[in-house]
Amino acid sequence: MGVKRTDSATGPALLPAPFSGWFAEKGWEPRAHQMELLARASAGESLLLIAPTGAGKTLAGFLPALTDLAGRGRIPPGSAFTGIHTLYVSPLKALAVDIERNLMKPVSEMDLPITVETRTGDTPQAKRQRQRLNPPDILLTTPEQVALLIANGEAQRFFKDLRYVIFDELHSLVTSKRGHLLSLGLARLRRLAPDLRTIGLSATVAEPMDLRRWLVEQRPGEENHAGLVTAPGGAKPIITILKSEERVPWSGHSAKYAMPEVYEAIKAHRTALLFVNTRSQAEILFQELWNINEDTLPIALHHGSLDVAQRRRVEAAMAESRLRAVVATSTLDLGIDWGDVDLVIHVGAPKGASRLAQRIGRANHRMDEPSRAILVPANRFEVMECQAALDANYVGAQDTPPVGEGALDVLAQHVLGMACAAPFDEDALFAEITSASPYTGLPREKFRRIVEFVATGGYALKTYERYARIRRTPEGLWRVSNPQVAQQYRLNLGTIVEMPMLNVRMVKRGARGAIGRGGASLGKVEEYFLEMLSPGDTFLFSGKVLRFEGIRENECLVSQAFSLDPKVPAYAGGKFPLSTYLAEGVRAMLDDPARWSALPDQVRDWLALQRDVSTLPKRDELLIETFPRGSRHYMVAYPFEGRLAHQTLGMLLTRRLERAGRRPLGFVATDYSLAVWALDDLGHAFTVERPSLADLFDEDMLGDDLEAWLDESFMLKRTFRNCAVIAGLIEQRHPGKEKTGRQVTVSADLIYDVLRSHEPDHILLEATRNDAAAGLLDIQRLGDMLARIRGHISHRRLDRISPLAVPIMLEIGREPVAGEAQDVLLAEAADDLIAEAMGADRT
């Protein structure tokens, strides 16, 4: 558990005998924060421990429970039922499994009379049943399992002896809807076991007070928060940027060019973790590494779409130090203790300071030695972004998102769960729910609407009373209408809404019928991606180039391909645009050639060329370039505000240009710039001010235009779909029949449109708008940017593409099409038909 002898004095050893002996045997000494936490928790305090990776955080968290249980002794057989003593909640199944492994070591070495078990989605039904009858002392589990356990009729009995609840990686749990659901679960646990105390384990966060409040009961008019224990920070990490001899590409995110050098770095270290931002990047890099893996080093791949068994194998091999490198996405972000990792390679620009710090913390789990990390920029803009990050001492910064107000869809799910546990009194449940810190501000009236939503959908048109899922008993308690409701609740519980996915199964080439059955399952891929494929197309998945054979029922059939030029899976990870917080740094660097000396030659030459043929954007201005290319006219803007903001801006600019009659055809956005293309000569149009650039970029576009667009946008529909599934309006799974994700998508869009046109103030639309407000943070940035550049727009009319515009021009054609542009594509397809002079006459 990463505890190691330190030279500093650590205070008096307050440890009970078996523990002090055990520490001594290991040559370890308990650290100050471990002892402080033990003393205060044993005295009855709830606590938040903030400690860097490698500080022995997990052992610290368990010490109070372990010493308490050790003091209790073995329970004689035949005693009355004893519920669980300690609940440990982790955001990741893998983490729970990992902790069990680590916790069993001291327990068995000290021969402590303590039983420890895990319970996750993967736990077999029989074991779960047995756990309910004969619970372990310490249960290691996930937020979803907590929700399931408290919605059970026997929750009271199961949790009555609960003393400690330990939340690991609390900083990452609380900011999501899972955290909201968990906070409600904790409120219920406090009611079942009023004496319980909580221990939160967290990395450094921007607002520790948010977490401290989260951990304890909130009452109106009181300011309650858990105590704080802080461990001293570790050594500063050593971070470098990969200086490649190869040509750094103009655009893209794969960083293929750097793989030979990355491979050398892997060879020079014991074990390396390669973090990438998306699953498709992970696939590509893994393949590239194996292409050059002449020493056949054991290099593995780990991401969320892979088969569970395969992931577990990788984790186990990692724990046993049998691997030299793992290519991973955020599935490995959190605090799994890998021990031997001595290098973290981060591919792509650091898109968030806290995340980068977490990932770098994976290297060298010993806090007194510095972690080593190499940043590998995937393109030329990222070179600058990485450099700006290092210059700004970026890694020390904290940008964790705020805890946020409790989501309403989560609340709806919880209310149904509580009805499944036992009939509830509306006022009593309201008091319980508002004791959870994310929900303290919940108005009573809104809670009433949520209860109504759970019962009959909460529509103004009351036609569903006779189908209600929960009803009032004569005593005024809400109870479920029938047992099937509880069954449906259990099947659909959780806040993680899966993208529609299909299982990928290997078959023989050309096999589509019965012969195809029985091949290995490789994992899951998103259904919408497959819709774009025709049989025979190839794509990269699970580290292999696969040939798409077809879709059968809920499976995607593939065969081994020999193609060298595969299409690449487009995962959700790739579609969620990452926002950069380094815009200011990059702008400053562009504007200051003196700082270019830190950049590689080729990037410097690129910038110099841009200065010669066009201009470089000044720090406080917006550069717009216009140029013709092929039969089209392009406008490229360089706001450096992140892709989300640029996408919104692109949509709004396109609408404006359309209204001005400039016939825009499309746009594309990256983290750094934005390109719009049109049939009209945009350069000429701006010169004669039809429209003027000042008008085009006027802030008022964030008014009505934005509102209109948002309502139609994909983002809101996707958000609604998540809310509808979490709130239980749409089931992901129905007893007896699996609904595929695709079907959920379709009906969610339909329901969204129905509600919008018929009941715009429905509670679920309110929940959707609240959620979307998070996405609107980027609109705030956009507003700030538009205000800043007013009067500072610099227009360059060029006769051809500029060096700075090359990266974004290479992105054209990779973006999904949205809204009105759909009809343009349809018209294009229909025109093909007309050109063939066949088919329908048109009236």
Partner 1 sequence: MQRLALAAADIQDFGAVSARTVVAGVEVVCDPLGALFLPETRLLVVSDLHLEKGAAFARRGMMLPPYDTLATLKVLEAVIARHDPAIVVSLGDNFHDRVGSAHLPDVFRARIAAMARGRDWIWINGNHDPDGTVDLPGQSADELHYAGLAFRHEPSLLSPAGEIAGHLHPAATVVRREKAVRRACFATDGNRLLMPAFGLMSGGLDLRHKAMAGLFDRQSLVAHMLGRDRIYSVRFANLLG
Indicate whether 464 belongs to the interface with partner 1 (CB under 8 A): yes
The stretch near partner 1 (CB under 8 A) out of 231-239, 381-389, 636-644, 826-834 is: 826-834
Indicate whether 816 belongs to the interface with partner 1 (CB under 8 A): yes
The residue (of 428 and 750) whose beta carbon lies closer to partner 1 is 750
The stretch near partner 1 (CB under 8 A) out of 24-32, 359-367, 440-448, 723-731 is: 723-731
Look up residue 738 and give its DSSP letter: E
Backbone angles phi, psi at 433, to 5 degrees: -65, -40
The residue (of 800 and 842) whose beta carbon lies closer to partner 1 is 842
The stretch near partner 1 (CB under 8 A) out of 318-326, 519-527, 782-790, 818-826 is: 818-826
The residue (of 126 and 842) whose beta carbon lies closer to partner 1 is 842
CB of residue 749 to partner 1, shortest distance in Å: 5
Contact residue for partner 1 among 8, 79, 463, 473 (CB under 8 A): 463
CB of residue 481 to partner 1, shortest distance in Å: 8
32, 49 in Cβ contact below 8 A?
Answer: no
Contact residue for partner 1 among 80, 461, 594, 837 (CB under 8 A): 461
The residue (of 608 and 827) whose beta carbon lies closer to partner 1 is 827
Indicate whether 753 belongs to the interface with partner 1 (CB under 8 A): yes
Indicate whether 747 belongs to the interface with partner 1 (CB under 8 A): yes
Rounded to whole angstroms, what are the CA distances from 687 to 632, 796, 805?
17, 10, 20
Indicate whether 841 belongs to the interface with partner 1 (CB under 8 A): yes
Token duo for residue 215: 């951990």
Indicate whether 743 belongs to the interface with partner 1 (CB under 8 A): yes
The stretch near partner 1 (CB under 8 A) out of 373-381, 425-433, 675-683, 749-757 is: 749-757
Contact residue for partner 1 among 17, 126, 564, 829 (CB under 8 A): 829
Indicate whether 81 belongs to the interface with partner 1 (CB under 8 A): no
Indicate whether 740 belongs to the interface with partner 1 (CB under 8 A): no
The residue (of 254 and 579) whose beta carbon lies closer to partner 1 is 254
Indicate whether 830 belongs to the interface with partner 1 (CB under 8 A): yes
Indicate whether 750 belongs to the interface with partner 1 (CB under 8 A): yes
Q: Kindly give the interhelix angle for 714-727 and 704-712, rounded to the nearest 10 degrees.
A: 50
Report which residue type is found at 300.
A
Report which residue type is found at 762.
H
Rg over alpha carbons for the chain, rounded to the nearest Å, is 29
Report which residue type is found at 116.
V
- Looking only at residues 493 through 532 of this chain, which bind partner 1 when binding is defined by CB under 8 A? 531-532
- Which helix (H) or strand (E) segment is 768 a member of? helix 763-775
- Looking only at residues 471 through 500 of this chain, which bind partner 1 when binding is defined by CB under 8 A? 484-485, 488
Number of residues lying near partner 1 (CB under 8 A): 56
Beta-strand runs (E) in 203-275: 227-230, 238-241, 272-275
Indicate whether 566 belongs to the interface with partner 1 (CB under 8 A): no
Token duo for residue 350: 């650091």
Contact residue for partner 1 among 205, 729, 772, 789 (CB under 8 A): 729
The residue (of 601 and 841) whose beta carbon lies closer to partner 1 is 841
Token duo for residue 317: 């091999």
CB of residue 450 to partner 1, shortest distance in Å: 13
Enumerate the β-bridge partners of residue 345.
Answer: 274, 374
Q: Kindly give the interhelix angle for 741-758 and 714-727, rounded to the nearest 10 degrees.
A: 100
30, 15 in Cβ contact below 8 A?
Answer: yes
What is the C-alpha separation between 325 and 343, in angstroms, rounded? Answer: 9
Indicate whether 714 belongs to the interface with partner 1 (CB under 8 A): no
Rounded to whole angstroms, what are the CA distances from 796 to 641, 699, 774, 800, 841?
20, 22, 35, 11, 47
Indicate whether 609 belongs to the interface with partner 1 (CB under 8 A): no
> CB pairs under 8 A, 24+ apart, for 431-435?
432/187, 432/188, 432/191, 433/184, 433/187, 434/218, 434/220, 435/187, 435/190, 435/217, 435/218, 435/219
The stretch near partner 1 (CB under 8 A) out of 186-194, 249-257, 601-609, 746-754 is: 746-754
CB of residue 608 to partner 1, shortest distance in Å: 34
Helix boundaries (H) for 306-361 = 308-319, 353-360
What is the C-alpha separation between 45 and 413, in angstroms, rounded? Answer: 31
The stretch near partner 1 (CB under 8 A) out of 203-211, 344-352, 611-619, 809-817 is: 809-817
**Can you say whether the dihedral through the CA atoms of 807, 808, 809, 812 is positive or negative?**
positive
CB of residue 467 to partner 1, shortest distance in Å: 4
Q: Is the peptide bond before 401 cis (omega within 30 degrees of 0)?
A: no
DSSP 135-198: --SEEEE-HHHHHHHHTSTTHHHHHTT--EEEETTHHHHTTSHHHHHHHHHHHHHHHH-TT-EE
The stretch near partner 1 (CB under 8 A) out of 168-176, 394-402, 589-597, 753-761 is: 753-761
Contact residue for partner 1 among 186, 730, 801, 805 (CB under 8 A): 730
Contact residue for partner 1 among 102, 456, 563, 692 (CB under 8 A): 456
Indicate whether 836 belongs to the interface with partner 1 (CB under 8 A): yes
Token duo for residue 770: 């609240």
- Which helix (H) or strand (E) segment is 201 a member of? strand 197-202
Indicate whether 823 belongs to the interface with partner 1 (CB under 8 A): yes
CB of residue 189 to partner 1, shortest distance in Å: 28
Q: Which residues bind partner 1 (CB under 8 A)?
A: 453, 456-459, 461, 463-464, 467, 469, 484-485, 488, 531-532, 534, 729-731, 734, 743, 746-747, 749-751, 753-759, 762, 813-817, 822-823, 825-830, 832-833, 836, 838-843
